Structure 1
Amino acid sequence: MNLPRSSGILLHPTSFPGRYGVGELGASAYAFLDWLYDAGQQWWQVLPLGPTGYGDSPYQSFSAFAGNPYLISFDDLKKEGLLTEEDLQDTPDFLPGKVDYGWIYIWKFQKLQAAYTHFKNGAFTNLKAEFATFKAQEDAWLEDYALFMALKDENGGLPWNAWDLPIRQRKAQAMQDARIRLADDIERISFYQFLFFRAWTQVRAYAHSKGIQVIGDIPIFVAMDSADAWANPDQFYFDDLGQPTVVAGVPPDYFSETGQLWGNPLYRWDVMQAQGFQWWIERIKGCLKLYDLVRIDHFRGFEAYWEIQYPAENAIDGQWVKAPGKELFKTILDALGEIPIIAEDLGVITEEVEDLRDSFGFPGMAILQFAFGGGDWASNAFLPENLKDNQIVYSGTHDNDTTRGWFNAAKEDELTHLNQVAGSEVTEDRVAWVLTEMAWRSRARVSIVPLQDVLNLDTAARMNLPGSLSDSNWSWRYPQGALSPFVARRLKSLTQEAGRYVQPRVTA
């Protein structure tokens, strides 16, 4: 894949500022894109955009195809008459710098339900026609998703494999009864998806008008409690009661003596292959409706994945099982043509994984925060001089501390190596910009930094601490006024100096 020499910013939409408790695809999204344009950037990278549940992780979504209703802009709904001032007069005084998921889960869905009621009872002729078209176009996943979420609400939020057995097993009569009983809920949930996709399509079109493209992100596995698992049980390792027999994770390593027990259901690759990998073809097609470039998390799992018997207390007693990665991607390419994929190839990567990645020309990833440690430091693959052309280089990702926070916790040898590469002593107030410069001046085709590093923020702005259920995970939001013209000018100047700037062809 021939990506241009370019650069961009990693920022999840929930991190936008605004008065409704969580970032939305409204005025703040457009303001951010204006700032990104002023800063001379060509990429906006986001985390998965699916609806989130327990733990609030965008990597554990209720659907691989649906969008997150939290992101729907209430101010935009108000402009259209789908919400009124009266509906929003009880808006709480949300903390401006943090998402309170427990509170918005209740309050935001109350307001979305009010918007649906106004829609259902009002004229909205054009909008109702658009909604009907959307339902017809997205029927392949939308019907199952909306029924799944309606049943989940009816069952008090319980996971699908704790529902009554007939609906858990999707028996015909139980499914028919549920569709009749929950018809209005199904319509309401489908309406939320319509609002999300309409808003995202408009935001992405605006990005394109500014010469900015979107990098999306998809987890390799789906969540256990998801419409995908419930609607396609034959494609996962489940028993007759819908319980998993094996689950996903990663083995013990330098970071964890017991490995990581993710708990995601594992694919029946034999079944998927016999069906022509159709589920995966549809999944990638769905991604290409949302993004211009797609990062696949845990890419190494397409070559071999860590299989853990269920139930288990940890990930120690697992085994590597081969996956048909080459057959999968060849089939997808034959069906869809060239697919713009970034391989998240971090961690312990084997020659077989590298061969899978390189066979299809997928760019890999490099993290500069990992460049300065280790015994044989000079051979560290993430050092700026050791980066490859076909890579995406980051100062850090959503799972890393901010660069300023990393610096404050770094070991002495890491700081010594950092100073050697930088050519001078790096200080806390300079380190985020130093790594940004290293990324921008490197040979890697694309360089990305989280907005937290552009703003030189400390650990308090960290997006996620892997393996923890802290209520600060996924909750950071930047304050109003943080996107200063000075920072934009500075970043644009670096982008021009590093040969990453292309004058965008702005469209009306």
Structure 2
Amino acid sequence: MRKAGILMHPTSLPGSAGIGTFGKSAFAFVDFLEKAGMKIWQLLPLGPTGYGDSPYQSFSTFALNPLLIDFEDLVARGWASPKLTKKPSYIKTKGDVDFGSVVWWKSHALKEIAKYFLELITNPDVSASDNFDPNTKMEFFTFCRENQYWLRDYAAFMSIKSFYDAKAAKQAEEEKCAVNGTWNVYWEKNLSKHDEKAVEKWINEHTEDFLQTEVIQFFAAKQWACVHEYARSKGIEIVGDVPIFVAADSSDVWANQKLFQIGKDGKFTGVAGVPPDYFSATGQLWGNPLYDWKAMKKDGYAWWIARVKKMLSLVDYVRIDHFRGFESYWSVPFGSLTAETGKWEKGPGIELFDAIKKELGELPLIAEDLGIITEEVRALRDEAKLPGMKVLQFAFDKNEWKAGGLKNVFLPHNYEATNCVAYTGTHDNDTSQGLFESLDDESLVLIADYLTGEKNTVEGAKKLVRSKKLTKMFVKSALSSIADIAVIPLQDVYCIGTNARMNTPSTSGKNWAWRADKSLIEGAKAEKAAQWLKNLSVLYAR
């Protein structure tokens, strides 16, 4: 069945204080998708973000991001008092996310709200509001029990991390140096090694802190479940995102050290990245610890099975980022300054996917097969019966054109099968409008010729860019392709320029912060855009 959808992360939703949430705007966005004839909402990873605010560097691959919790909903449920959710004057409602301010405010506020909630469910003398559901206590303890396989370690990790981060920051301030390191650098030895007795002792001595983290995850899970159920009721399927690797500073690595390439001294031996490519001349040094695939094979890839199963409880499809790493991954010696010093190592191949399928059945996965893709990677993708990605922004090469025609696999006329997902661009690309505004004349004319089917002058092509017509043609090209699924970033629907770019790989500072204006989701402007998309979805049988 042919489908179309929109790519937008919940942090980019408008309306709420500081950052997008699982609140009213999430439901309004689902309504927008329904009006637009869209069947897909694609997200970035939903985990709690760490340094740099990247959703691809999370403190846990199983947890949800506390910053996405909606305070209005907590008050409406009777789980928080209004005074605990009051927005400080320095928090903006409109404009891009200021992560520093949002983290400072919401992290402290959520701790206080969690205390309030725990009082409600444990102290019968505390009066709850009229809308407080008496079944909430049982729901919370059921949530903790069902998610104990990851939640206990995550809550313990965040508690220990909070203590040692504060201690390291104080030391760094005294010594006038930067805080440098993760749990395997400055935690107490037994805790660093995840010694069970030491971890249990910590939990017993920091019960309140531990329970608060569990409560916060309960909040997020309940709210997201409501959004997901609402989307289902409207015929909208959600595509989640799983990075192949997990963050070094995460409960995933700390609690499962035997499954990663970690030496006897507790230090990583190799880290992840990609060699020099389209995005960076020196490659991308991600720094994620690499898996010990032999160790994972011994227990039947149980950790990966649990990871995919958990994600499929949250979404309907899962896009696996950097799929090529399952065939071969770029291993960079720990301590390298760039990714140039790495080498290719063999991954688990089809064996991993067979193990997951044996446990979970057929998998609604999408393979992010971008970058340096070999015949072996394509063969693995096809053997696993997974759709790959076709990104239109990667399709046009003026040098290739001069050499005798456009043979690029990302061009719609070169798609070999319908089992793929077409995109105008991804979160790592500039917006299509921004790209067109930055291209050299020759490349711009090439794209204009392809999309219009006519010979264009430089000025004619630039006029198409200024009028936003070229970006609209780009969207139409993706939707009209033979790909079973076509996904358009919301920025491209509205032909927004570079100021709305979500991420620039190998850079830091201003990434992940874009937020949509409310007019893009609700109101006359949104209605017009939805009607345009609806017409295209009907025209191209999506």
TM-score (norm 2): 0.89
CA distance in structure 1 between the partners assigned to 2:77 and 2:113 by the alignment: 10
Which residue number corresponds to residue 73 of structure 1? Answer: 70
CA distance in structure 2 between the partners assigned to 1:342 and 1:324 by the alignment: 18
2:433 to 389, 404, 424: 404
Deviation digits for residues 159-196 of structure 1 (CA, Å, limit 9, x no counterpart): 21121111001224322220111111111101111111
In the alignment, is the contact (CA less than 8 A) between 1:15 and 1:23 conserved in 2?
A: yes
1:395 CA drift (Å): 0.4
2:183 to 143, 160, 170: 160
2:153 to 144, 148, 166: 144
Q: Give the AA of the match of 2:110.
A: L
CA distance in structure 2 between the partners assigned to 1:481 and 1:402 by the alignment: 19
Q: Give the AA of the match of 1:379.
A: K
Q: Give the AA of the match of 1:216.
A: G
Which residue number corresponds to residue 121 of structure 1? Answer: 119
Which residue number corresponds to residue 139 of structure 2? Answer: 130
1:77 CA drift (Å): 0.6
1:235 to 254, 259, 272: 259
CA distance in structure 2 between the partners assigned to 1:86 and 1:323 by the alignment: 52
Residues 1:25 and 2:22 are matched in the alignment: yes
2:221 to 159, 184, 197: 197
Which residue number corresponds to residue 177 of structure 2? Answer: none
Structure 1 SS opposite 2:369? coil
1:275 to 286, 292, 299: 299
In the alignment, is the contact (CA less than 8 A) between 2:68 and 2:220 conserved in 1?
A: yes
Residues 1:327 and 2:351 are matched in the alignment: yes
Structure 2 SS opposite 1:272? helix
Structure 1 SS opposite 2:41? strand
Structure 2 SS opposite 1:63? coil
CA distance in structure 2 between the partners assigned to 1:25 and 1:255 by the alignment: 32
Q: Which moved more, 1:81-90 or 1:143-152?
A: 81-90
CA distance in structure 2 between the partners assigned to 1:205 and 1:25 by the alignment: 12
Which residue number corresponds to residue 447 of structure 1? Answer: 486
Q: Give the AA of the match of 1:132.
A: F
Number of aligned residue pairs = 496
Which residue number corresponds to residue 8 of structure 1? Answer: 5
1:251 to 253, 257, 275: 275
Q: Give the AA of the match of 2:516.
A: Y
**Aligned positions of 1:108-507 closer than 5 A:** 108-123=106-121, 125-156=134-165, 159-161=182-184, 162-377=186-401, 378-387=406-415, 388-423=417-452, 424=454, 425=461, 426-428=464-466, 429-470=468-509, 472-483=510-521, 484-500=526-542
In the alignment, is the contact (CA less than 8 A) between 2:80 and 2:117 conserved in 1?
A: no
Structure 1 SS opposite 2:318? strand
Q: Give the AA of the match of 1:489.
A: Q
Structure 2 SS opposite 1:87? helix
1:415 CA drift (Å): 1.2
Deviation digits for residues 376-420 of structure 1 (CA, Å, limit 9, x no counterpart): 231011112112311100000000001110001112232122122
CA distance in structure 1 between the partners assigned to 2:411 and 2:194 by the alignment: 52
Q: Give the AA of the match of 1:160.
A: W
1:254 CA drift (Å): 4.7
1:90 CA drift (Å): 4.4
CA distance in structure 2 between the partners assigned to 1:479 and 1:496 by the alignment: 27
Which residue number corresponds to residue 457 of structure 2? Answer: none
CA distance in structure 2 between the partners assigned to 1:427 and 1:246 by the alignment: 45
Which residue number corresponds to residue 174 of structure 2? Answer: none
Structure 2 SS opposite 1:489? helix
Q: Give the AA of the match of 2:511.
A: N
1:374 CA drift (Å): 4.5
1:434 CA drift (Å): 1.0
Q: Which moved more, 1:394-403 or 1:174-183?
A: 174-183
In the alignment, is the contact (CA less than 8 A) between 1:307 and 1:319 conserved in 2?
A: yes
CA distance in structure 1 between the partners assigned to 2:84 and 2:194 by the alignment: 38
Which residue number corresponds to residue 49 of structure 1? Answer: 46
1:314 CA drift (Å): 1.1
Q: Give the AA of the match of 1:311.
A: G
CA distance in structure 2 between the partners assigned to 1:62 and 1:314 by the alignment: 23
In the alignment, is the contact (CA less than 8 A) between 2:47 and 2:60 conserved in 1?
A: yes
Which residue number corresponds to residue 100 of structure 2? Answer: 102
Q: Give the AA of the match of 1:202.
A: C
Identity level (%):
45
Structure 2 SS opposite 1:243? coil
Structure 2 SS opposite 1:431? helix
Deviation digits for residues 447-503 of structure 1 (CA, Å, limit 9, x no counterpart): 000001112111001000110012x21011011222311111111001100111xxx
1:53 CA drift (Å): 0.8
In the alignment, is the contact (CA less than 8 A) between 1:20 and 1:91 conserved in 2?
A: no
1:348 CA drift (Å): 1.5
Which residue number corresponds to residue 506 of structure 1? Answer: none
In the alignment, is the contact (CA less than 8 A) between 1:373 and 1:413 conserved in 2?
A: no
Question: Please, which runs of 5 or more residues in structure 1 have no aligned partner?
Answer: 501-508
1:95 CA drift (Å): 5.1
Which residue number corresponds to residue 37 of structure 1? Answer: 34
Structure 2 SS opposite 1:58? coil
Deviation digits for residues 330-357 of structure 1 (CA, Å, limit 9, x no counterpart): 1111111101110000112000000000
Q: Give the AA of the match of 2:408.
A: N
1:154 CA drift (Å): 1.2
1:35 CA drift (Å): 0.8
1:219 CA drift (Å): 0.3
Give the structure with the higher percent helix.
2
Residues 1:60 and 2:57 are matched in the alignment: yes
TM-score (norm 1): 0.95
1:240 CA drift (Å): 2.6
Q: Say if 1:398 and 1:479 are closer, same or farther in 2 by CA, change over 3 A.
A: same
Q: Say if 1:82 and 1:251 are closer, same or farther in 2 by CA, change over 3 A.
A: same
Structure 1 SS opposite 2:286? strand
